[in-house]
Each structure stands twice: as structure tokens, then as C-alpha cells.
Amino acid sequence: MIDKVVASAAEAVVDITDGASLAVGGFGLCGIPVSLIDALHQQGTTDLETVSNNCGVDDWGLGILLKDGRIRRTISSYVGENKEFARQYLAGELEVVLTPQGTLAEKLRAGGAGIPAFYTKAGVGTQVSEGGLPQKYDADGNVAIASAPKEVRSFNEADYVLEESLTPDFGLVHAWKGDRHGNLVFHAAAMNFNPLCAMAATTTIAEVEELVEPGELDPGQIHTPGIFVQRVVVAPATEKRIEKRTVAL
């Protein structure tokens, strides 16, 4: 088996070029591959297309790439916690493909499974299926790019919309544990989107909090097999933020 460990996050992302598409794991601020995103930011890569449930916050996660104008287009579900995101979208600087959360997850899962498209009820009868959803504005606030209508078919007297799967160039994921062969274990809510991004991407790069030797992980506890992962980098000191803190007095 191949030892997939690389020495640094900078080395791990070195071949991510301008214009690449990225599937980025995480849910809210949980399970975000911060070390890989920071390395990509320092590298200066730009004109990126990101596929991610959300786009970080203004000063963290994908938000640091967004702030510097490095993201050209994003396919996302929840984008409500980033003021710079809203500004760029409304100013015509960012193309946004809003996608129902479950549909986004299935687009990635199906892509990783080799399924090019699938039918779902989500979005039937709305602009998701009928088209016209603003994806990009011009500088004057007019719709420059709108979503196209999608195929709708009836199965068992119910309508379903056809959604195409996603297979981005690179996947950036954050795992709790991983071994040198790329087998990964995610913790708690970090299970959201990280395994799917790892499956869907052509080249997957995983940052892990703890690196173990092959054979130390219980095979029954592995969430993503190493066949889906091409590179592993250790990121033991990754900051973990809470998106919304609620306390009781």
C-alpha cells in the first residue's frame, strides 16, 4: 500500500491551480479543513469554484479566500453567516448556485458512486426546477446569469426533478483520525459533507488531527476508505470555533 502522508499543508495543495473546482467538507464551522484552506490562501490560488454546504464566515474557513476575491463561483446550500458573501453576490462579483441541502449532499455522493444524475422531489414547482433563480448579478443589480429549467418527470404519479452529480477536481476534508493509507474517521458533526466531498473529488486531500499506523483503525469504524484519498497531512493544532454560542443564565 502507498504511504500517502505529505510533510505539510503547503505541499498537499501545491498542484491546485487557478480555476480549479474544490469540494470542501464541513458543516457550519465544524469539520472545516482550515489548514488546507489557509495553505491554499497563502499559495495565492484564485478563480476557484467551490462546492460546500456553506462558505465559512468573514474571517475564517472559505471566508478568507472569498474576502480576497479568490472564489469565482460557489455551489452552496446555506450562505447566511457571511456579510462579504452577500456583498459580493449582490454586487455581481460572485456567482452563486443555491442548492437544497439534501440535493447537494446527494450530488456529491452520487458523483463519488459514479452516478451521473438522479431524480429528487426537492425543488419541484420552484425556481430550482423551473429556472430563473438568480446566480449572478451585474454591477447595476440586474440578473446576468439565471438558472436554467431542469427536466421534470413523473414516477408513480409524483413529479421529480433531474439533478446532475458533482465530481470536483479536488476535495479538501478534515478528519479526526487517519492512517498512512488514507483511511479516515470523522468525529460527530464533522461527518456532515466531509465523507461525501472525499468520495466525489478526483483528488482528495485530508487533514487529520491524529495520524495512526495502518492496522490501528478498526475496519468497522472507518468512514472513508483510503481508496478515495490521495494525500494525508497532519493538522493537530487546528482551531475549533463555535458558530453561534448560546448560554443559559
- pLDDT, one tens digit per residue, over 26-68 is 998 899 999 999 999 999 999 999 999 999 888 899 999 999 9
Q: In sequence order, what are the residues at sequence separation of 6 or more whose Cβ sits closer than 8 angstroms to the Cβ of residue 162?
A: 117, 118, 119, 150, 151, 152, 153
Average pLDDT for the chain: 95
Percent of the chain predicted with pLDDT > 90: 88
The pTM for the full model equals 0.95
| Closest among 14, 1, 55 to 233, alpha carbons compared | 14
Tell me the C-alpha distance between 169 and 152, whole Å: 28
Predicted confidence band of residue 241 (pLDDT cuts 50, 70, 90): confident
Determine the average pLDDT of the residues in 85-89: 95
